[in-house]
Amino acid sequence: MVFSSLFFLYVFLPLLFLFYFLSKRTSYRNGVLIVASLLFYAWGEPIWVTLLLLCGLNGYWFAHYIHRHKGTRTGMWLTAAAVSVNLVILGFFKYADFFIANLNLLPRVDLPYTEVALPIGISFFTFQMMSYLVDVYRGDVKRPGTFTHVLLYVSLFPQLIAGPIVRYKDIEHEFQDRRFSWTSFSSGITRFVIGLGKKVILANGCGELAPLFLDNQLSEATVLGAWFGILLFALQIYFDFSGYSDMAIGLGKMVGFTYPENFNYPYISRSATEFWRRWNMSLGSFFRDYVYIPLGGNRRWQARNLLVVWFLTGLWHGASWNFIFWGLYFGFLIYIEKLFLLRLLRQLPVFLSHIYATVAMLLGWVFFYFTDMSSGIRFFKTLLGLEKAKLYNLELQIYVMDHLFFLIVAVVACTPLPKQLAAALSARLPAMGRLRPLSVPLFNATVLFISTTMLVGSTYNPFLYFRF
């Protein structure tokens, strides 16, 4: 089940709120959320609900023994074993066939493939469970959760499928004591609707156009057409993932949970380093706190630490060499920036550093998009004018002119300008009396109506990050 579906919006969500708010005690509401989350996950992956339950049971059992022995060698080995269990689960389902395919390239090696389907959201819920177990060992989680709390933590449907990655310690108190607030609930509705609009109106719109310039014959591609296509994909993946994060954060607010922000206008960045401080921030903080700093961070072996982190970042996104290359590409850029490039970028005019960061990001998305490395390299060369390709053609001109208004809206929506405009209008609305309380509900109703209309009339509605 996906958030941007008519069934979720008009059947699942109303029924959830009905049972949730009829339940008066927090423990009962936790039970409603667990049942709803398992049903949400089982809608598309019924067999893997058992895997989710086993992850919750594994985390609950190990956490209590780790807590009992924290600060000791036994506690350290228990933590290593608990984390290893999650890594084995993730490795088997997500990476086994990738490693088998590479081993089969060796002479006289012919291993059978597992051909096991990838459980949706496995990269997110295994990472959350690992962070919980490590935090119990470190003492950041003061008391291990009950089985109900741990199961709710690992299965809670708003961020179960595609994040953000939530730390148990950040929402620990909310498992036991959540107070309803109309202010928080209405704020959650607005945040959810903004995310829905990002996904259905902007991401889906870009997603229908991008393949026309990325998936056609490379021999027919033009230089500007290639740049146009990768720009559309960059917009699509941003609105797709940040839209999902907005919806998750909004749903969390509606039921009393506070989730971390995951995006902070990454496309206004002036460097690759800044981009990754703004993009998928929960994943970045996970690798920083549980991999980079324990390895030594900036203090020692910085190049090695960056190599490990960015190799893992690429591998986390998919079991394919293009994702690994994409991660190492950004790792190399960030290392060069740390050595000397950031100092140079700070001395440049702002628009020049923005151009550098934008070009670097778009080139990076090429390797993210093309799972076939040879196609990615050819497309990369087309972007740089190294292939025998025309600068542009009439087809590109027609598509740009036909979608110019949509493109302007999409580009502006990547920046803080809409938020600044809304704040400026809000400052003026008090003088307009009764209009101010109506502005937010009117905005929400309009975006919901447009999104519903588009969902009824379209069959294109995938979430890109579901496969990760």
Rounded Cα distance between 128 and 59, Å, is: 10
Q: Please give the distance of CA 174 from its chain centroid, rounded to a whole number.
A: 23
> What does the DSSP 8-state code read for residue 199?
I
Rounded Cα distance between 4 and 1, Å, is: 9
Among residues 64, 403, 79, the alpha carbon closest in space to that of 229 is found at 403
Rounded Cα distance between 436 and 424, Å, is: 13
Residue 235 near residue 202 (C-beta atoms within 8 A): yes
Rounded Cα distance between 36 and 19, Å, is: 10
Print the SS3 string covering 266-277: HHHCCCHHHHHH
> What does the DSSP 8-state code read for residue 47?
G
> What backbone torsions phi and psi does residue 218 show, to the nearest 5 degrees?
-65, -25
Rounded Cα distance between 185 and 416, Å, is: 24
Burial 454-465 (b: 16+ CB within 10 A, else e): bbeeeeebebbb
Where in the sequence numbering do the catalytic residues fall?
317
- 119: exposed, middle or buried (C-beta count within 10 Å: 0-12, 13-18, 19+)? buried
C-alpha gyration radius of the chain: 23
Rounded Cα distance between 61 and 188, Å, is: 34
What are the tokens at 365?
């998305």
Q: Cβ of 135: how many Cβ atoms within 10 Å?
A: 21
301 Rama class: left (phi>0) / alpha (psi -120 to 50) / beta: left
Rounded Cα distance between 77 and 225, Å, is: 54
